[in-house]
């Protein structure tokens, strides 16, 4: 190539250099824009995915401390306190007192102390009312108690059945006898209006006789007689005399 051609090529390169620089700058700007757009799109996709995942998650519970009492419904907020029932200062009787009362009830067929004479369950009607825990279905007791019920209704009083049937072992354990009338279901120890043994003297022998009943061991209606509340059916052959009744059956021991 001659000198004139070399000079021409050099001049042409100089004229094209600005254009090439402009093209390179445009390409660089274009690449940068594409990268930023891709990053923005990537960020948008991640944000959308995160938002979608958060929106689709189930609601989270908040643990609470609950200590329920079995069978008790929670009181509504602001509810007034319930009224107190009974005597908050009351105390149960001592075990010694309970044993003493049970000893008198079983041994004597009634108590001798008026302070212990209140029934375990008080009846509000006239007639016969067996004390809880007594057995009234053996032997003659269904007939005997039915007559006592009719007697109580006629007199307008509550007759408490203190001691009906006793097993021989029970009778001996409480100070009675293995062959006494209670072990045959033939006797009932009663109280009138209370468990006080002497209260049975309110019912006369004549009133008992009208309902086919009598006191085999105390025909005198004496409130001080320990057998004043021991009631039996009058036998078909007639009432036993005191001497014969005592010879036939041992009466319950005297209680003090």
Task: Look at 55-64, 211-220, 226-235 and tell me which has the smallest mean pLDDT.
Answer: 55-64
Structural domain contains residue 190: yes
Q: What is the pLDDT of residue 27?
A: 61
Structural domain contains residue 167: yes
Nearest residue to 114 via CA among 189, 176, 193: 193
Q: Where are the alpha helices (DSSP H) in the chain?
A: 3-56, 95-108, 141-155, 168-173, 205-209, 242-248
Structural domain contains residue 41: no
Residue 2 has pLDDT above 90, yes or no: no
Structural domain contains residue 5: no
Structure confidence by residue, pLDDT tens digits, 89-148 = 656 666 665 555 555 555 556 777 777 788 878 898 999 999 888 899 999 999 999 999
Give the whole-angstrom CA distance, residue 213 versus residue 131.
Answer: 20
Structural domain contains residue 144: yes
Residue, of 170 and 93, whose pLDDT is higher: 170
The CATH number given to whatever domain includes residue 198 is 3.30.1380
Task: Look at 95-109, 173-187, 192-206 and tell me which has the smallest mean pLDDT.
Answer: 95-109
Structural domain contains residue 107: yes
Structure confidence by residue, pLDDT tens digits, 201-216 = 999 999 999 999 999 8
**Bridge partners for 190 per DSSP:** 161
Q: What is the pLDDT of residue 256?
A: 45
When divided into structural domains, the chain yields a total of: 1
The pTM of this model reads 0.57
In the chain, what percentage of residues exceed pLDDT 70?
A: 51
Q: What is the pLDDT of residue 186?
A: 94
Residue, of 179 and 9, whose pLDDT is higher: 179
> Quick one: average pLDDT of 55-76?
61
Give the whole-angstrom CA distance, residue 230 versus residue 245.
Answer: 12
Query: Residues 105, 111: contact at Cβ < 8 Å?
Result: yes
Structural domain contains residue 161: yes
What is the CB neighbour count within 10 angstroms for residue 103? 14
Structural domain contains residue 136: yes
**Bridge partners for 158 per DSSP:** 127
Residue 49 has pLDDT above 50, yes or no: no
Q: What is the pLDDT of residue 190?
A: 95
- Domain with 104, as residue range(s), is 96-248
């Amino acid at each position: 190539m001659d000198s004139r051609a070399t000079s021409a090529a050099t001049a042409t390169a100089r004229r094209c250099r600005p254009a090439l620089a402009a093209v390179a700058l445009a390409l660089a700007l274009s690449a940068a824009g594409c990268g930023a757009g891709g990053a923005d799109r990537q960020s948008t996709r991640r944000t959308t995915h995160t938002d979608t995942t958060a929106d689709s998650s189930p609601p989270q519970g908040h643990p609470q401390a609950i200590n329920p009492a079995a069978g008790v419904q929670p009181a509504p907020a602001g509810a007034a306190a319930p009224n107190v029932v009974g005597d908050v200062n009351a105390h149960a009787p001592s075990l010694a007192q309970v044993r003493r009362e049970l000893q008198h009830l079983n041994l004597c067929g009634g108590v001798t102390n008026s302070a212990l004479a209140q029934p375990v369950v008080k009846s509000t009607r006239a007639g016969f009312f067996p004390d809880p825990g007594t057995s009234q279905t053996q032997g003659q007791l269904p007939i005997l108690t039915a007559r006592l019920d009719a007697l109580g209704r006629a007199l307008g009083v509550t007759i408490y059945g203190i001691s009906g049937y006793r097993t021989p072992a029970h009778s001996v354990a409480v100070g009675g006898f293995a062959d006494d009338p209670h072990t045959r279901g033939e006797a009932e120890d009663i109280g009138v209006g209370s468990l006080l043994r002497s209260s049975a003297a309110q019912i006369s022998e004549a009133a008992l006789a009208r309902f086919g009943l009598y006191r085999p061991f105390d025909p005198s209606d004496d409130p001080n007689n320990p057998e004043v509340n021991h009631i039996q059916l009058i036998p078909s052959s007639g009432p036993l005399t005191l001497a014969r009744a005592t010879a036939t059956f041992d009466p319950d021991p005297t209680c003090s």
